[in-house]
Amino acid sequence: MATETTAPAVTYADVEAAVRRIAGYAHVTPVITSRTLNDQVGAELYLKCENLQRAGAFKFRGAFNRLSVLTPEERRRGVVAFSSGNHAQAVALSSHLLGIPAVIVMPHDAPATKIAATQGYGAEIVRYNRLTEDREAIARALGEERGLVVVPPYDDPYIIAGQGTAVHEMRAQAPPLDMLVSCVGGGGLIGGSCLSARAIWPQIRIFGVEPEDGNDTWLSLQQGRIVSVPPPASIADGIRTLAPGKLTFPIEQENLEAVVLVNDAEIKAALRFLLFRLKVLVEPTGAVAVAAILAGKVPVAGKRVGVILSGGNVDPDVLAGIIQEG
Amino acid sequence: MATETTAPAVTYADVEAAVRRIAGYAHVTPVITSRTLNDQVGAELYLKCENLQRAGAFKFRGAFNRLSVLTPEERRRGVVAFSSGNHAQAVALSSHLLGIPAVIVMPHDAPATKIAATQGYGAEIVRYNRLTEDREAIARALGEERGLVVVPPYDDPYIIAGQGTAVHEMRAQAPPLDMLVSCVGGGGLIGGSCLSARAIWPQIRIFGVEPEDGNDTWLSLQQGRIVSVPPPASIADGIRTLAPGKLTFPIEQENLEAVVLVNDAEIKAALRFLLFRLKVLVEPTGAVAVAAILAGKVPVAGKRVGVILSGGNVDPDVLAGIIQEG
């Protein structure tokens, strides 16, 4: 349907527009600090609690921003999204709030809590096999068949701008930051965060964190072009992406000092630390940035560091397993 | 050592004095709200997060307040405390901060995390059998033998006043409250909370919550005198007290509209709700007040309700079990 054109650049002005659209719908999530954590890593960490965002992850910001700019005709026909979980819930909740029909294409092994929550918002679910089928193709076919607008999980200017609102909020919630650390999936969160952080604190050093077997952005930055990886098996199910996006990768190239890699053991240890010491629940993906810092892989010593806890939706069985490994 | 006298009355002025003593040492813990929770119970709940207090529970407030008024000679000799866990950690941390030696008498079945944390603050641990031995007698013997000041867990004016500082903080953190709901153990938390709440919101209705098999305060209020129960087996290990205190019981008699009872299944369900929906970790005792509200046992409908999440120290194995029962 759409003609292939040069991707439109997304800027900090788009983040500021998103701030206005999501106001009153998205939560301004708290930033927390922990003396215990700061003492352990020798830095001042400011943890942005996107696990406390509506639908349990930052994804609501981008989804709501994207749906807010649909035309009346597009709203009437509805939307379709493909997602490993949190984007699905975010699109489902945003659709519900805006009165828009939604179809969600979800992987066969998505966490049960995420599937249930998505259905709870009234969305129609279509399942696919994450290891053998192409979710984007399924979503695009459904979109064409039923005239639905595809809401991609990250490679969309409105999604990127929406995700950038989390770091935008930190301007008023923390002292000036020297450094920002975030998990990296397809690049929506880190991309939007880069736009906000660079505009607010021009000298800030920005680090992305990926799972060892989901190192598509790490590889792509090394090679200077978008590189794909096989489907990752990492416990960080929110960032099992295969490649950075066409819109997000240039932003990452321009702004990231480095991407560092963490393994599942480090992710689980960080999740347990956040749970038992700070008393906050994050999902494995939400622990990835802290995992890199606790593992000494980001040079945070003496710095004021913004850290994004990206989400908090974790299946009880998965959580029980992580706790018992500790 | 001490002569038996009429117990000194503790008042709101004592809470205000405690506020000044603990300032800069105790955290002003956040009050959180949840649309999901409010929708479910039809009320506005303001959750006071004492699970985020130093050492993981409200107990730090009272312990630090008590230790702050020791004489120089008493500080030099040190203190002894008996506790199921959180009071132990609170006394150990307060002693550590104030440079006072501390001995802690802990039950044989105290959670391993609590024992480790207490030792981590540099306190000496003495174990006893909760089902056959009298911890208070052990502590008093140690006190006499070594000249240590006994820091009781609840029946002390400075402890009660210190615990009252949590609700005192809510004056600035929530709209005027119609109702207050708190777990009830020996009465230090609820007693101090009554002093603050009654002074700040004179018409407030105050409800206590106990485990079904730890219903010593419920029984005592019914009979109009202090009644003891056998050692409770409730999962709420922070409030397995046998009887209300001599100082706390009159405050409870004067201020509590009712004590309601919850069972372990209700406590576990509330803990899971707080964990998976609100993303905050509480220990079983910390979930008791919410358990009563979720079970429909407190008439909260349409009210602004202060609710105390008393603590967040839970053993990983216990937590894993509670999660898997859900």
Q: What is the ipTM of this complex?
A: 0.91
Contact B113 A276 (CB under 8 A): yes
Query: Residue A298: pLDDT band by 50, 70, 90 thresholds?
Result: very high
List the single residue in B51, B282, B320 with the smallest CB-CB distance to A323.
B320
Say if strands A124-128 and A205-211 run parallel, antiparallel, or are unpaired: unpaired
DSSP codes joined into one string, B290-310: HHHHHTT-S--TT-EEEEEE-
Contact A276 B30 (CB under 8 A): no
3-state helix, strand, coil in chain A (%, to 5): 50, 15, 35
Instruction: Identify which of A229, A165, A219 has the alpha carbon closest to the alpha carbon of residue A191.
Output: A165
Indicate which residues of B carry an active-site annotation.
59, 84, 210, 214, 216, 310
What burial letters (b/e) apply to A161-177, b meaning 16+ CB within 10 Å?
A: bbbbbbbbbbeeebeeb
Residues forming beta bridges with residue A316, ordered by sequence position:
none
* Angle at alpha carbon of residue B178, lines to B177 and B180, rounded to 5°: 75
B189 neighbors B159 (Cβ within 8 angstroms): no
Average pLDDT value for residue range A131-137: 85
List the single residue in B52, B276, B323 with the smallest CB-CB distance to A279.
B52
Q: Which pLDDT score is estimated for A108?
A: 84
**Intra-chain end-to-end CA distance of chain B, in Å:** 51
Tens of pLDDT along chain B (326 residues)?
Answer: 344 445 568 999 999 999 999 999 999 999 999 999 999 999 999 999 999 999 999 999 999 999 999 999 999 999 999 876 899 999 999 999 999 999 999 888 877 777 888 888 999 999 998 788 888 889 889 999 999 999 999 999 999 999 999 999 999 999 999 999 999 999 999 999 999 999 999 999 999 999 999 999 999 999 999 999 999 999 999 999 999 999 999 999 999 999 999 999 999 999 999 999 999 999 999 999 999 999 999 999 999 999 999 999 999 999 999 999 98
| Alpha-carbon span A264 to A213, nearest angstrom | 10
**Catalytic status, residue A228:** no
Show Cβ contacts of residue A111 under 8 Å, excluding neighbours closer than 6 positions. Answer: A85, A237, A313, A314, A315, A318
Measured between alpha carbons, how far is residue B86 from residues A132, A326, B63, B231 in Å?
51, 22, 10, 18
| Alpha-carbon span A258 to A132, nearest angstrom | 31
Question: Would an 8 Å CB–CB cutoff place B57 in contact with chain A?
Answer: no
Show Cβ contacts of residue B101 under 8 Å, excluding neighbours closer than 6 positions. Answer: B77, B78, B79, B95, B124
Question: Would an 8 Å CB–CB cutoff place B37 in contact with chain A?
Answer: no
Contact B323 A326 (CB under 8 A): no
Which residue of the set A210, A237, A252, A264 is catalytic?
A210
Say if strands A102-107 and A79-82 run parallel, antiparallel, or are unpaired: parallel
User: Looking at CA atoms only, how far is residue A279 from chain B in angstroms?
Assistant: 5
The pTM of this model reads 0.93
Instruction: Identify which of A147, A194, A179 has the alpha carbon closest to the alpha carbon of residue A12.
Output: A194
B270 neighbors B291 (Cβ within 8 angstroms): yes
Percentage of residues of chain B with pLDDT beyond 90: 85
A11 neighbors A164 (Cβ within 8 angstroms): no
Question: Would an 8 Å CB–CB cutoff place B281 in contact with chain A?
Answer: yes
Contact B51 A275 (CB under 8 A): no
**Catalytic status, residue A59:** yes
Q: Which pLDDT score is estimated for B7?
A: 56
pLDDT tens digits for A229-287? Answer: 999 999 999 999 999 999 999 999 999 999 999 999 999 999 999 999 999 999 999 99
Say if strands A44-49 and A31-32 run parallel, antiparallel, or are unpaired: antiparallel
